[in-house]
Amino acid sequence: MRYLCKKTGGGMYVSDNKPCEDKPLILSRDKIPFGHWGIITEEAFARLVETEGFDLAVRKVFQKRWDPITTNHIDLTKGTETHLPDKFAGEYTLISALRDQRPAEHKGVVEVIKTITPHDTKKEPPKVFPEIIAGKDYSIVISKDEVRNHDPFSDQPRLETLTNCTVATLINRFPSYGRVIDEVVIRKVRPLIEKELTRISKGINLVTFPTQYYERIEDMPLETLSKMFSSQAVAMQNIERHANRDGIRYMPFDLFFNIGPKVGGSLKWIHSQTYVDLNQDGHGRTMEEILQSFEFQKRHGGCFFCNLKKSNIADFFLYENESVVLYVNPSPQTNFETIFYFKQHMPDILQFPKEQFLAIADVLVRDFKALNGISAVDADRNILIYQRPLGYNSQFHVFGKVVPYEIKGGKERIDNARVAQYNPQNVTDYLQKTGAF
């Protein structure tokens, strides 16, 4: 499998790009820092062992640990005793020593925002993405706009200018998963890491961003925001094609935006992320609950979203266009949480046409503008897209949520529950009065 590849030599990269200063166009494998882009080479591991010792070096290898208190075997054959012993559903932790190396542009104490201030266009743009766009820093580009670029299992970071595209999707340089690990490293560390609920973590972390600088969703042109989704879809198609070739059929994937430091955004430059799990060992508890819910719906009258009429959500309805419906979550896990879903019954966004992506861009921009009009809503928010794991055949209808930041107490953290401060019907009234819809 390519994520356990042997050490190979890299060829020269031929393109229209010009070398940056004296840097080679391709960063040689022996120069790749430990774990960057999800790559662990024999040379990088040996350097780490030399400086920190073997035991500490092993601890820095990417790991996935299932929580034995919340994890169960996934039973795909209801009514029988048959289980798939290598598939789990529950809570897990991805351990990555690289996460503290991520560039962070949000500094100091963060105060809760009480009022919405106009976007300050005079702020100096951050330096992380401009260096990559100008071809001055190494990257592995999986898609440019809606066009495939490099192999998602590439171990060749390159200097590649991105000024000829609106949006790019890259391999995250500081990932949570291991992507390409030399076999000699695997042989050394596997006996010390892998147990029943712990394994060397394999997967791909993508970052998608516009090549022009924006800090907020509501500041972006619809076409640009739309291309962020289409670029992710193309990158996912690229990953699926290469992974299938290596025998990987089952791939849970999470697509989300962290907008603001309080919801996990370390960079000011607007960007989205996609986590692709290649361990083929199961998925999280929430996804299992959603999958079971859709299967229950199938046995009892069809799909919830396909059967959902505007009259059913009249008290919570906000907006719709030709392809997407937006409404306030009647059972919010965070105050002012909204839900959007596509009218077309599809399990994921991989095959969506351009019109669908423009439609979701329209909805998100309006939703963010409306939320900005409420003083009680924090400016930091997550956008979460729920999609069926690749390789599953069960019923699923892709949907998403916009979740504003909020401090949560013990009740919210001890179980999947929420004590809501605002009645969702009142929230709907507040948002409708902003004029965003």
Same domain? 261 vs 331 = no
**Residue 350: other Cβ atoms inside 10 A:** 17
Give the residue numbers spanning the domain of 28: 2-8+15-100+125-286
**Helical ranges in 76-176 per DSSP H:** 128-133
So what's the pLDDT on residue 11?
Answer: 36
Taking the alpha carbons of 324, 327, 331, 336 in that order, is the dihedral positive or negative?
Answer: positive
- On whether residue 69 sits in a domain, the answer given is yes
For residue 116, being part of any structural domain is answered with no
pLDDT of 230 reads: 97
Residue identified by tokens 């290469």 is 242
Give the amino acid at 181: I
With beta carbons less than 8 A apart as the criterion, state whether 230 and 210 touch.
no
For the entire predicted model, the pTM comes to 0.88
Q: Are 188 and 326 in a shared domain? A: no
Residues 6+ apart with CB under 8 A from 415: none
Number of domains in the chain: 2
In a domain, 107, yes or no: no
CB 258 within 8 A of CB 264: yes
Do 188 and 250 lie in one domain? The reply is yes
**Residue 108 CB partners (closer than 8 Å, separation 6+):** none
CATH code of the domain covering residue 407: 3.30.428.10
What is d(CA 302, CA 394) in angstroms, rounded to the nearest whole number?
12
pLDDT tens-place values along the chain, 437 residues long? 333 333 333 333 333 444 445 789 999 999 999 999 999 999 999 999 999 999 999 999 999 999 999 999 887 655 444 555 668 999 999 999 887 666 655 443 333 333 334 444 445 556 689 999 999 999 999 999 999 999 999 999 999 999 999 999 999 999 999 999 999 999 999 999 999 899 999 999 999 999 999 999 999 999 999 999 999 999 999 999 999 999 999 999 999 999 999 998 888 999 999 999 999 999 999 999 999 999 999 998 899 999 999 889 999 999 999 999 999 999 999 999 999 999 999 999 998 999 999 999 999 999 999 999 999 999 999 999 999 999 888 899 999 999 999 998 898 888 888 888 899 999 999 999 999 99
| Per-residue pLDDT at 348 | 95
- Does residue 315 sit within a domain? yes
Question: How many Å apart are CA 409 and CA 419, to the nearest integer?
Answer: 9
- The answer to whether 107 and 266 have CB atoms below 8 angstroms apart is no
At 102 the pLDDT is 62
List CB contacts of 369: < 8 A, sequence separation 6 or more. Answer: 218, 434, 436
Residues 341 and 227 in one domain: no
> Which pLDDT value is given to residue 120?
44
Judgement on whether residues 214 and 312 belong to the same structural domain of the protein: no
Whether residue 227 is found in the same domain as residue 357:
no
Whole-number pLDDT of residue 21 = 55
State the pLDDT at residue 87: 86
Tokens found for residue 259: 């907008």
Residues whose CB is less than 8 angstroms from the CB of residue 195 and which lie 6 or more positions away in sequence, other chains included? none
Both 55 and 203 in a single domain? yes
> How high is the pLDDT of residue 103?
65
The pair of structure tokens assigned to 74 is 């996934």
